[in-house]
């Protein structure tokens, strides 16, 4: 991580392609560096100028009299290699490449990018970009960017760090943070990520003592390891991460032997990563900014109780609905405090949501006294005040703001949100008093839900996933019998069953097991046996088994002519239980991803699944199982039996631990269905498939 010091906190900087025109890419960084008071030497490189923006200019990098830590390359793609070569000769430790025309434009650009990267690696230069908007470190006064949001002036440093893969979005977010009066410590856009990616940048910023809150914008991740390392660094330092992930893909990658990969899309895996490391994922930029503003106040929620004070009874009810939808709770004001509010306004409704009537807009003392009562009661962990358009009325806006300011100043530990329609100066006035502001109260509730997300991270019990002692056998393919034998080593039993080579032998095995039985074709080449006529259930006699086996051979040979057939599996029928699916597939970015849901032949139709990164503990497995919409079926829905959730959790955890221990070779593992039996009846794996691949 220290290799990024030369990028974020250089002692000297060269600007290749420097310009006196502050509107140009080679001019803006110099303007910003000067305005920010960058303490090190700035070396503008331009063979046509002796002086640029009051600084001595140099015709080439070789003419620079001293060492350079970081180089800003504001030149074309074609000129980049030569410029970087000159910087390497000067011992540069980092370079920021603004230029476009690399991998984003096709094969020729990709080849040029690879050549530039090769040079950077050989010279030990850390490369940001190409095709990026650059970065800044406000604490160090270092601005290597052409972001237009800084044209109006370089603001004071703050304690928010931003990493964005998109320069355009990074600049957009930067401007809106400034408009809200939120200061930044660091800001970076990673562009094509030839070398430095968004995860590595986040990791460096998360380790800085001048950063409290981390914002991220990603479209996809090149290195899952870098991102996870950054999130672990932030979590260890108790620094909240708010991450916008866009680019939702199709509902999953297809894998030859697994429903699991098709059920678990890329986006669900990212959600699993974010959940594991405590990241909050906003739905919109507005929500991201609201949450960032709330985190910047450093007033964490102590609980989930929300109080509502509204000038409109109808809006108060709306807010109560929002609170319930968000998983928060409407707090209860003690009877004595309700009586105090009734003494203020006899016609009020003092029970939460609190409606003090329109008198608060004409008699502003009532608003102040109402807040004094409710905040002193400590019945709420956060309070939402709905003012609506009263905050824009000239006769009301100022006095209401002053009344709220006086009351909240007496309880600075209380978190208060004001939902108000007002002029920007008035809104900024509320924010300056340490109050959260928004126009629509639904935004206030969404922000509180995000704060509650971070609160629950702090109180969530930790549990250690188990290690798996079972290694994946050195087989290239697995049929169902081999897959079930492996599951048995993990403590996941199958039904009583036997392998038969011929139809006559299948009938004999059925007689030994006891009818009715299930009959399935056994082949390492057939992933979905029902689709080729390879499954028959409820066969009542040995003769029915023999006849079904003969028909099955003919059908499978016709529908899967190239498949290797290893015989038949004859199994006892398991009728009592709920069919679930437990599977793992290897995500190309993050490794083994675990999927759980209701199983059977309708699993892809229902698509009711939950996802987690492997490994997980039995306790985490229970939480995973509870996430699916149909989870109540497992715990006794409408008087039905409760099923063996403990056995299910242990099985899910064992599969996840096995997948993590064998991530180098295991491509996918699927148990579908895994039957969960009533009471303490345990679980039974009725079918299993394993796919390997380095």
- C-alpha closest to that of 596 among 358, 345, 220, 259: 259
User: Treating both helix axes as pointing N-terminal to C-terminal, what angle do 503-513 and 542-559 enclose, rounded to 10 degrees?
Assistant: 140
Residues 268-278 as b or e (16 or more Cβ within 10 Å = b): bbbbbbbbbbb
Looking at residue 256, its pLDDT comes to 34
Is pLDDT of 514 > 60?
yes
| Distance between CA atoms of residues 348 and 336, nearest Å | 15
Share of the chain above pLDDT 90, in %: 81
Dist. CA 475–CA 197, nearest whole Å: 37
Is-contact 612 656, C-beta < 8 A? yes
The full DSSP string for 200-244 is: HHHHHHHT-TT--EEEEEES--S-HHHHHHHHHHHHHTT--EEEE
- Give residue 393's pLDDT: 85
R_g over Cα of the chain: 32
Q: How many angstroms separate the CA atoms of 61 and 18, rounded?
A: 12
The whole-angstrom separation of Cα 658 and Cα 619 is 17
Which segments of 286-423 are extended strands (E)? 305-310, 329-330, 354-355, 382-388, 416-420
Neighbours of 168 (CB within 10 A): 10
What integer pLDDT is reported at residue 262 of this predicted model? 45
Read off the pLDDT of each residue in 267-280 and give the average, rounded to a whole number. Answer: 93
pLDDT digits (tens, 9 = 90+) for 583-629: 999 998 999 999 999 886 666 777 789 999 999 999 999 999 999 99
Residue 461: its pLDDT value, please? Answer: 64
Q: Do residues 294 and 447 make contact, with C-beta atoms less than 8 angstroms apart?
A: yes
- Could you tell me how far CA 374 lies from the centroid of its own chain? 36
pLDDT at 134: 98
User: What sign results for the dihedral spanned by CA atoms 225, 228, 230, 233?
Assistant: negative
CA distance 137 to 591: 33
Burial status of residue 146 (CB atoms within 10 A of its CB: 0-12, 13-18, 19 or more):
buried
Which pLDDT does position 602 carry in this prediction? 62
Q: Is 50 exposed, middle or buried (0-12, 13-18, 19+ CB in 10 A)?
A: exposed
Q: Alpha-carbon distance 207 to 234, whole Å?
A: 7
User: Can you tell me the distance from the alpha carbon of 215 to that of 586, in angstroms, rounded to the nearest whole number?
Assistant: 28
Question: Taking 90 as the threshold, does the pLDDT of residue 266 lie above it?
Answer: no
- Quick one: how far is CA 260 from the chain centroid? 20
For 463-491, write each residue's pLDDT tens digit: 777 788 899 998 888 999 999 999 999 99
With a CB cutoff of 8 Å and minimum separation 6, the contacts of 347 are 357
Q: Tell how far CA 375 is from the center of its chain.
A: 35
The pairs formed by 112-115 with CB atoms below 8 angstroms and a separation of 24 or more are 112/77, 112/78, 112/80, 112/81, 113/192, 113/194, 115/81
In whole angstroms, how far apart are CA 451 and each of 81, 292, 294, 326, 445? Answer: 47, 10, 8, 11, 10
* Residue pLDDT, tens place only, 293-311: 999 999 999 999 999 999 8
Closest CA to 143 of 249, 318, 25, 223: 25
At residue 465, φ and ψ (nearest 5 deg) are -65, 150
Predicted TM-score of the model (pTM): 0.89
Name residue, tokens 């270092």.
Answer: 142
Residue 364 phi/psi, 5-degree rounding, is -70, -20
Q: How does residue 648 score in pLDDT terms, banded at 50, 70 and 90?
A: very high
Name residue 598's beta-bridge partners.
Answer: 580
- Please give the structure tokens belonging to residue 212: 């409290």
**How far apart, in whole angstroms, are the C-alpha atoms of residue 665 and residue 663?**
6
**Within a 13 Å sphere around the CA of 304, how many CA atoms are in the beta-carbon half?**
16
CA 42 to chain centre: 39
Q: From residue 287, how far is each of 392, 442, 689 by CA, in Å?
A: 23, 10, 42
Residue percentage of the chain with pLDDT more than 70: 96
DSSP-derived secondary structure letter, 52: E
Q: Which one, of 466, 464, 463, 462, lies nearest residue 658 by Cα? A: 466
pLDDT band at 252 (very low <50, low <70, confident <90, very high): very low
Tens digit of each residue's pLDDT (9 = 90 or more) over 379-417: 999 999 999 998 888 888 899 999 999 999 999 999 999
Segment 406-463, tens digit of pLDDT: 999 999 999 999 999 988 888 889 999 999 999 999 999 999 999 999 999 877 666 7
CA-to-CA distance for 452 and 144, rounded, in angstroms? 36
The answer to whether residues 444 and 438 touch, using CB atoms and an 8 Å cutoff, is yes
> Which of 678-682's residues contact partners 24+ apart within 8 Å by CB, and which partners?
678/576, 678/577, 678/641, 678/642, 678/643, 678/644, 679/641, 679/642, 679/643, 679/644, 680/644, 680/646, 680/647, 681/576, 681/577, 681/643, 681/644, 681/647, 682/493, 682/644, 682/647
How much is the pLDDT for 601? 63
Q: Encoding tokens for residue 463?
A: 């549990």
pLDDT attached to residue 267: 84
Q: State pLDDT tens for residues 539-591.
A: 999 999 999 999 999 999 999 999 999 999 999 999 889 999 999 999 989 99
Is residue 254 over pLDDT 80? no
CB-based contact 486:478 (threshold 8 Å): yes
What's the whole-number average pLDDT of the chain?
92
DSSP secondary structure code for residue 61 in this structure? G
Domains assigned to the chain? 2-239 (3.40.50.720), 299-459 (3.40.50.261), 496-572 (3.30.1490.20), 578-692 (3.30.470.20)
Q: What is the pLDDT of residues 165-195, one digit of tens each?
A: 999 999 999 999 999 999 999 999 999 999 9
In tens, the pLDDT along 351-387 reads: 999 998 888 878 889 999 999 999 999 999 999 999 9
Partners of 72 in beta bridges: 15, 96
| For residue 255, pLDDT beyond 50 | no
pLDDT digits (tens, 9 = 90+) for 113-145: 999 999 999 999 999 999 999 999 999 999 999
Phi (first) and psi of residue 388, to 5 degrees? 60, -140
H or E stretch including 319?
helix 313-325
């Amino acid at each position: 991580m220290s290799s990024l010091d030369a990028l974020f906190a250089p002692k000297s900087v060269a600007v290749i392609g420097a310009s006196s025109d502050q509107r140009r890419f080679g001019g803006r960084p110099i303007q910003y560096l000067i305005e920010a008071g960058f303490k090190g030497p700035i070396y503008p490189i331009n063979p046509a100028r002796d002086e640029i923006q009051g600084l001595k200019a140099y015709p080439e990098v070789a003419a620079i009299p001293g060492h350079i830590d970081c180089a800003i390359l504001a030149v074309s793609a074609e000129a980049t290699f030569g410029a970087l070569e000159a910087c390497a000769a000067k011992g540069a430790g980092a370079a920021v490449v603004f230029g476009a025309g690399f991998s984003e434009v096709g094969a020729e650009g990709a080849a040029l990018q690879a050549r530039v990267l090769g040079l950077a690696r050989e010279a030990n230069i850390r490369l940001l970009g190409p095709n990026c908007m650059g970065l800044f470190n406000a604490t160090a006064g270092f601005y290597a960017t052409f972001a237009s949001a800084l044209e109006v002036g370089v603001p004071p440093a703050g304690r928010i760090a931003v990493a964005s893969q998109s320069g355009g979005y990074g600049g957009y977010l930067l401007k809106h943070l400034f408009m809200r009066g939120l200061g930044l410590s660091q800001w970076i856009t990673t562009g094509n990520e030839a070398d430095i990616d968004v995860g590595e940048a986040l990791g460096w910023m998360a380790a800085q003592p001048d950063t409290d809150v981390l914002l991220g914008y990603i479209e996809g991740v090149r290195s899952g390891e870098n991102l996870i390392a950054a999130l672990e660094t932030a979590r260890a330092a108790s620094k909240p991460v708010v991450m916008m992930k866009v680019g939702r893909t199709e509902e999953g990658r297809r894998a030859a032997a697994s429903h699991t990969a098709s059920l678990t899309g890329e986006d669900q895996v990212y959600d699993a990563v974010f959940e594991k490391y405590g990241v909050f994922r906003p739905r919109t930029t507005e929500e991201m900014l609201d949450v960032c503003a709330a985190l910047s106040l450093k007033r964490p929620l102590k609980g989930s109780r929300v109080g509502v004070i509204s000038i409109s009874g109808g809006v108060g009810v709306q807010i109560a609905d929002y609170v319930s939808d968000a998983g928060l709770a409407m707090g209860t004001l003690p009877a004595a405090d309700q009586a105090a509010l009734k003494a203020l306004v006899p016609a009020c409704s003092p029970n939460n949501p609190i409606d003090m009537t329109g008198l608060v807009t004409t008699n502003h003392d009532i608003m102040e006294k109402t807040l004094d009562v409710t905040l002193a009661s400590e019945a709420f962990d956060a309070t939402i005040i709905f003012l609506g358009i009263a905050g824009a009325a000239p006769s009301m806006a100022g006095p209401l703001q002053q009344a709220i300011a006086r009351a909240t100043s007496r309880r600075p530990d209380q978190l208060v949100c004001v939902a108000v329609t007002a002029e920007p100066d008035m809104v900024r006035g509320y924010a300056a008093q340490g109050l959260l502001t928004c126009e629509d109260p639904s935004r206030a509730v969404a922000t509180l839900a995000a704060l509650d997300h971070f609160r629950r991270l702090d109180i969530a019990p930790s549990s250690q996933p188990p290690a798996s002692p079972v290694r994946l056998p050195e087989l290239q393919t697995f049929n169902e019998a081999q897959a079930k034998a492996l599951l048995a080593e993990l403590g996941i039993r199958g039904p009583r069953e036997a392998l038969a080579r011929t139809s006559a032998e299948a009938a004999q095995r059925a007689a030994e097991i006891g009818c009715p039985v299930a009959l399935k074709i056994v082949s390492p080449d057939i992933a979905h046996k029902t689709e080729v006529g390879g499954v028959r259930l409820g066969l009542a006699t040995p003769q029915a088994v023999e006849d079904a086996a003969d028909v099955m051979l003919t059908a499978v040979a016709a529908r899967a002519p190239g498949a290797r057939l290893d015989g038949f599996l004859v199994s006892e029928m398991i009728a009592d239980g709920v069919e679930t699916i437990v599977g793992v597939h290897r995500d190309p970015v993050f490794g083994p991803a675990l999927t759980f849901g209701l199983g059977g032949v309708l699993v892809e139709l229902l698509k009711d699944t939950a996802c987690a990164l492997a490994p997980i503990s039995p306790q985490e497995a229970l939480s995973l199982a509870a996430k699916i919409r149909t989870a109540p079926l497992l715990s006794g829905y409408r008087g039905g039996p409760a099923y063996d959730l403990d056995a299910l959790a242990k099985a899910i955890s064992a599969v996840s631990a096995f997948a993590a221990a064998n991530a180098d070779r295991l491509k996918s593992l699927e148990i579908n269905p895994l039957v969960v039996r009533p009471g303490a009846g345990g679980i039974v794996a009725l079918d299993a498939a394993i796919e390997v691949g380095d």
